[in-house]
Amino acid sequence: MTLSPVSRRALLAATALVLVLMYAPLLVVVANSFNPDPSMTWPPDGFTTQWWVRAFHSAGARDAVLTSVEVALASTAVALVLGTLMAFALQRFRFFGRNTVNLLVILPIALPGIVTGVALNNAFRGILAIELGVATLVVAHATFCIVTVFNNVVARLRRMGGNLEEASADLGAGLWTTFRLVTFPQLRSALLAGGLLAFALSFDEIIVTTFTAGPGTTTLPIWILNNLFRPNQAPVVAVVAVVLIVVSVVPIWIAQRIAGEAETVR
């Protein structure tokens, strides 16, 4: 197929336009974090760093970040273990009900967030009568983080094949030795990519979180939501937003370096 120069240029223009539309809102947030007018009219009529100073002295924001990191680390740890076990089971074995199990793994992200949220809220509060808090939040987050680790490990296992492991077994290594010396080193970057994604997913999640966190637990997204509608807090939220945008570049950079291709970064 040969594209005419006109359609080629039209495609390029469309791509460029969409990229501009993708980034403009984020840049506006950056600009607004320096906007002296708290109602954030455009264009900004000056430059101030007062919101940045206020944000850095906000104990609420700092505590929320710590809570979010704690929850995200715990969920990621659970997801790494469960997602990897699941990936080995589904990639290396053929068994009855395999498709159903596969569907079960993707269901927590395939079903809308409110469904997962209200189902878990009902199970914790209505059925088990457990107090909502960090623990229930970790259980909820880990459940939908499993699939990101699972996807990355399955993709890697598929590419690895079983030759090296068979060779290792033929040379007399047991299952554990083979896993430690042959399988794991090849999996490491997939685990890192999957773990990063799980961490980011948990850190950012708001819908399931509002149903499973309980009143005493404030993650960063909940803090943002609580402060969004307060007249003088909106620019402080903008500052936190800018910090989040900047921080989120780090995992992409790492993921790109270790993975090198798009398929493992999802």
Q: Could you tell me the sign of the dihedral formed by the alpha carbons of 161, 164, 170, 174, in that order?
A: negative
Cβ-based neighbours of 50, under 8 Å, separated by 6 or more: 36
d(CA 115, CA 255): 30
**Smaller CB separation from other proteins, 59 or 262:** 262
Q: How many residues bind to other proteins according to rule CB under 8 A?
A: 106
**Smaller CB separation from other proteins, 1 or 59:** 1
In the complex, what is the shortest distance from the CB of residue 48 to other proteins, in angstroms, rounded to a whole number? 16
The span of 47-55, 57-65, 69-77, 174-182 binding other proteins (CB under 8 A) equals 174-182
**Smaller CB separation from other proteins, 57 or 180:** 180
d(CA 145, CA 140): 9
CA–CA distances in Å: residue 55 to residues 61, 112, 122, 236: 7, 33, 36, 5
| Binding status of residue 251 toward other proteins by CB under 8 A | yes
The span of 47-55, 58-66, 69-77, 217-225 binding other proteins (CB under 8 A) equals 217-225
| Binding status of residue 101 toward other proteins by CB under 8 A | yes
Distance of CA 99 to the CA centre of its chain: 25
| Binding status of residue 85 toward other proteins by CB under 8 A | yes
Residues 112-171 that bind other proteins (CB under 8 A): 112-123, 125-127, 139, 142-143, 146, 164, 167-169, 171
The span of 47-55, 56-64, 69-77, 234-242 binding other proteins (CB under 8 A) equals 234-242
The span of 40-48, 54-62, 69-77 binding other proteins (CB under 8 A) equals 40-48
Tokens at 151, concatenated: 């996807």
In the complex, what is the shortest distance from the CB of residue 210 to other proteins, in angstroms, rounded to a whole number? 7
| Binding status of residue 66 toward other proteins by CB under 8 A | no
Determine contact, residues 235/38, Cβ cutoff 8 Å.
Answer: yes
Determine contact, residues 30/244, Cβ cutoff 8 Å.
Answer: no
Binder to other proteins among 8, 57, 158, 230 (CB under 8 A)? 8
**Smaller CB separation from other proteins, 54 or 125:** 125
d(CA 190, CA 174): 23
Rg (CA), the chain: 23
